[in-house]
Amino acid sequence: MKRSFFSVFLTFFIFIGAYAQDKPAIIPMPSKIEWKNSEFQFPSTITFYADAEAEKSLKWLKTLLNTTGSELEKASEKEANVSLKINKDLSSSLGKEGYQLKVTSEKITIEAVTNAGLFYGITTLRQLFPAEVESGKITAAFSIPSVTISDKPYYEWRGSMLDVARSFFDLDYLKKHVDRMALYKLNRFHLHLSDDQGWRIEIKKWPKLTQIGGQSAVNNGRAGFLTQEEYKDLQAYAKERNVMIIPEVDMPGHTYAALQGYPELSCENFENLNPKRAIPPAPFHGTDVGWSKFCMEKPVVYDFISDVIAELAEITDGPYLHIGGDEIEDEHYKEFVVKAEKIVRENGKTAIGWEEVTQAKVDDPFISQRWTGATKSVVDTRIIESICKNFYLDHGNIPNQPNTYSWCKKDGVSLKNVYDFVSENKKAIGVEGALWTELVHSDATADDRLWPRNIAVAEVGWSSPKKKDYSEFKKRLGTHGKRLDYLGINFYKTPDVPWNTTKIKGVFSTVEK
């Protein structure tokens, strides 16, 4: 009898262990998750329900359910297999972006305080589906495990920055990036729209910015720009997916592309260019920084800044405009920052700048984006953490990766470097991974630098530091290999991750060597 009981017990233990190992990998890690020993089998006809306030999220649910091949039919809340509900009573526990997801053998229910929360609940449900869901259609019958999840983000700001000024990325790629961000609950897409090598956003009062500055790029990079209509199209696309566009026009340094079209923004004899690496109207294709700036003594410069900020504010839905402000030495710098920040405020927006701007006495709402942590600030602002040794994705995935930088961290910025970041600053509102594109000239190369490290950024931004475990994260990430393949992402196969991948015709591209 004892041996028989032991055999039964061992069989049960092995079954439970295997069942636990087969659980879908959810990234970012939810706040609370409790798996059950049952599953939901999708019927041939799926009935769904959404209350009046949740109707906005219904299209995302239907898009997901359509991948099952089942018929969809509207039903009452009581009779529905899948339901969405806005529940304001959850406000104190979940906040604006949190959600509750409950899967039983009979029903799937998602509740949240806002439609943003419902969107994230649907996103988590999507990760319970097989990876094939990312192809648009699941070809075999499947079930998902029963589970109860209560989840909310650790930080409000979970960002991804892409430099389109050095080398341009078109609307199609930018929309794909938004989709990928949304899958991992990243919610701030920071576009670096101007630099020495190019100007990428149409400003109607100053058309030469794109007529001239939009036609140049870094060596081997791509030129181009977004019209205001394309920008608004991208913004609307992102907003539907709970991603906010953060536009950055860098000033008063990194300005040669503007000076190229409007040399009157320069000083006499171009004394503001030091050394003179290029002279208007010649383009600049190099990678040097810190040599160009506006002639801040000239009133026309402030007319220009006022016009640019006004137009950008008018077409931007979100509350933020980024004014750059890095890598410059000038006696007029602090005065310029204060004036530029005031112009942003007068246009109804909150200014963001790289950490050097906190040398000036900017207004309280100002947000500082830290990238070195070395600036001696004279103000106590809110902070976005983009420390280069953890979040600069132009650095190699591994030491000595071709066409990557190493100036901030000689052995590159590994997946683990990103994941291990913990902010000790109480004013931090979030984190942001940054991809500068002096050495990134194709979509495939951008994919290689952004992914999977951006997934680590997402977990750092969403999940509590107390829950972080790199070894466990790697296992979950590895199972997302197939999902990334189906999405067509040319991601870097981090060597210590147990990748589960699949070969899909037409997906893979060659990264620049």
Instruction: Please indicate, yes or no, if residue 104 is contained in any of the structural domains.
Output: yes
Cβ within 8 Å of residue 197, ≥6 positions away: 165, 166, 167, 216, 217, 218, 221, 256, 257, 283, 284, 285, 286
Residues pairing with 157 in the sheet:
430
- Per the annotation, the verdict on 331 as an active-site residue is no
Whether 76 and 173 map to the same domain: the answer is no
For residue 20, name the pLDDT band (cuts at 50, 70, 90): very low
* Domain, as residue range, for 335: 157-486
Residue at a domain's end among 151, 179, 213: 151
Helices (H), 278-392: 299-315, 333-346, 388-391
Whether 198 and 253 map to the same domain: the answer is yes
Residue type, 186: L
**How far is 185 from 241, CA to CA, in rounded Å?**
9
User: Is the four-CA dihedral 303, 328, 194, 280 of positive or negative sign?
Assistant: positive
Residue at a domain's end among 121, 151, 181: 151
Whether 140 and 224 map to the same domain: the answer is no
Question: Taking 90 as the threshold, does the pLDDT of residue 275 lie above it?
Answer: yes
User: Is the four-CA dihedral 254, 258, 259, 260 of positive or negative sign?
Assistant: positive
Whether 268 and 301 map to the same domain: the answer is yes
Residue 294 belongs to a domain with what CATH number? 3.20.20.80
Instruction: Check residue 501 and give its pLDDT.
Output: 84
Provide the phi-psi class of 220: left if phi over 0, else alpha when psi is between -120 and 50, else beta: left
Mean pLDDT of 51-60: 96
* pLDDT tens digits, one per residue of 477-495: 999 999 999 999 999 999 9
Of 327, 355, 438, 459, catalytic: 327
| Count of domains for the chain | 2
Give the relative orientation of helices 228-240 and 171-183 as an angle to the nearest 10 degrees: 20
Using alpha carbons, select from 273, 317, 321, 289 the residue that is nearest to residue 436. 289
Question: Taking 90 as the threshold, does the pLDDT of residue 318 lie above it?
Answer: yes
Instruction: Please indicate, yes or no, if residue 82 is contained in any of the structural domains.
Output: yes
* pLDDT tens digits, one per residue of 147-197: 999 999 999 999 999 999 999 999 999 999 999 999 999 999 999 999 999
Of the listed ranges 137-141, 269-273, 371-375, 498-502, the least confidently predicted one is 498-502
Whether 94 and 174 map to the same domain: the answer is no
Question: Both tokens of residue 25?
Answer: 């990998």
* pLDDT tens digits, one per residue of 305-315: 999 999 999 99
Residue at a domain's end among 135, 151, 167: 151
CA distances (Å), 417 to each of 174, 386, 390, in order? Answer: 26, 12, 5
User: Is the four-CA dihedral 218, 223, 229, 232 of positive or negative sign?
Assistant: negative
Whether 166 and 281 map to the same domain: the answer is yes
Whether 363 and 478 map to the same domain: the answer is yes
Instruction: Please indicate, yes or no, if residue 464 is contained in any of the structural domains.
Output: yes
Mean pLDDT of 380-384: 97
Instruction: Check residue 16 and give its pLDDT.
Output: 37
Instruction: Please indicate, yes or no, if residue 53 is contained in any of the structural domains.
Output: yes
CA distances (Å), 52 to each of 49, 55, 56, 302, in order? Answer: 10, 6, 9, 48
Question: Both tokens of residue 373?
Answer: 């942590």
- Which residue pairs, CB below 8 angstroms and at least 24 apart, start in 126-131? 126/64, 126/183, 127/24, 127/25, 127/26, 127/27, 127/183, 127/483, 128/24, 128/26, 128/103, 129/24, 129/64, 129/67, 131/479, 131/480, 131/482, 131/483, 131/485, 131/486, 131/502
Mean pLDDT of 454-460: 98
Whether 246 and 360 map to the same domain: the answer is yes
> Which one-letter DSSP state was computed for residue 186?
-
Instruction: Please indicate, yes or no, if residue 513 is contained in any of the structural domains.
Output: no
Instruction: Please indicate, yes or no, if residue 482 is contained in any of the structural domains.
Output: yes
Instruction: Please indicate, yes or no, if residue 290 is contained in any of the structural domains.
Output: yes
Are 313 and 348 spatial neighbours (Cβ–Cβ below 8 Å)? yes
Instruction: Please indicate, yes or no, if residue 510 is contained in any of the structural domains.
Output: no
- Can you give the pTM of this predicted structure? 0.94
Place of tokens 């089998």: 41
Whether 132 and 265 map to the same domain: the answer is no
Whether 377 and 413 map to the same domain: the answer is yes
Whether 111 and 171 map to the same domain: the answer is no
Instruction: Check residue 374 and give its pLDDT.
Output: 96
Whether 129 and 175 map to the same domain: the answer is no
Residue 66 belongs to a domain with what CATH number? 3.30.379.10
Residue type, 457: V
Q: What share of the chain is helix, strand, coil (3-state, %, to 5)?
A: 35, 20, 45
